[in-house]
Structure 1
Amino acid sequence: MKYAGVFLLIAGVLFAVTSRWIGGSPESVAVAGTHYTVSVLPADRVEVRVTSGKAETVTLAAVMPSMGHALPPVGTVRADPGRFVATQDVFTMDGVWELSITLSGDHGEETITVGLLV
């Protein structure tokens, strides 16, 4: 359990890298937390689909560890039930990012972190 977060981060980055080489367009990445499961599409406006659990609010915070960048949290708007879209751009440049997704809803609050290649 100690290394579960690291494993999920590495798996997300590898998935993003591989799918970008093959298709060239952003692919969604699925990641599960303890109470919620989400699918993240790292497009111009990041989209989060909550596939398990009922979230009322979703906030995004991006960190680029290799460059030392940490950006302020970005809010989302509910586009459809279970589908949230960032209110502004989340990523400032291409590269490997860690995206922390904070969900709040019927299962309480939880933050899920996923690695993405943008």
Structure 2
Amino acid sequence: MKYAAVCLLVAGVLFAVTARWFGGGSESVQAAGTRYTVTVVPADRVEVRVTSGEARAVTLAAAMPSMGHALPPVGTVQADPGSFVATQDVFTMDGVWELSITLSGDQGQELITVTILV
């Protein structure tokens, strides 16, 4: 029984690693607040696409509650209209993260939180 559990654990790790190497990576996540709707693309530099509402500024703050990690907020730069890219790495390791996205614009300020598997 122990052997089977170890094999399953090794298989899971190998799957996660190879999926990342061959383009599986993390999937985008969509979320809606009352003022804005976003799609988060967790790449090397996290991208936030504002799909509803007109944001002028976006700030990201990541936390990994299961590990007790909380990182300082990260700024973004506007890459294209409605597309904001983090100015530095947001996630320090693989796992389940809570990403708090603060958006500001004509509709006011709003905080949207999403859970992302990296």
Shorter-normalised TM range: 0.7 to 0.9
Q: Which residue of 1 aligns with 2:31?
A: 31
Tell me how far apart the structure 2 counterparts of residues 52 and 100 of structure 1 sit (CA, whole Å). Answer: 17
Tell me the TM-score normalized by structure 2: 0.80
Q: CA deviation at 1:28?
A: 1.2
Q: Which residue of 2 aligns with 1:72?
A: 72
Larger radius of gyration: 2
- Number of aligned positions between the proteins: 99
Tell me the TM-score normalized by structure 1: 0.80
What does the per-residue CA deviation read over 1:34-81, in whole Å, with 9 as the maximum and x for residues that have no partner? 100000001110000000000000000000000000000000000000
Tell me how far apart the structure 1 counterparts of residues 93 and 25 of structure 2 sit (CA, whole Å). Answer: 16
- Secondary structure in 2 matching 1:63: strand
Q: CA deviation at 1:24?
A: 1.9
Which structure has more RCO (C-alpha within 8 Å, separation ≥ 6)? 1
Gaps of 5+ in 1: 1-19
Q: Which residue of 2 aligns with 1:116?
A: 116
Q: CA deviation at 1:27?
A: 1.8
- Secondary structure in 2 matching 1:62: strand
Opposite residue 115 of structure 2, the aligned amino acid is G
Gaps of 5+ in 2: 1-18
Identity %: 80
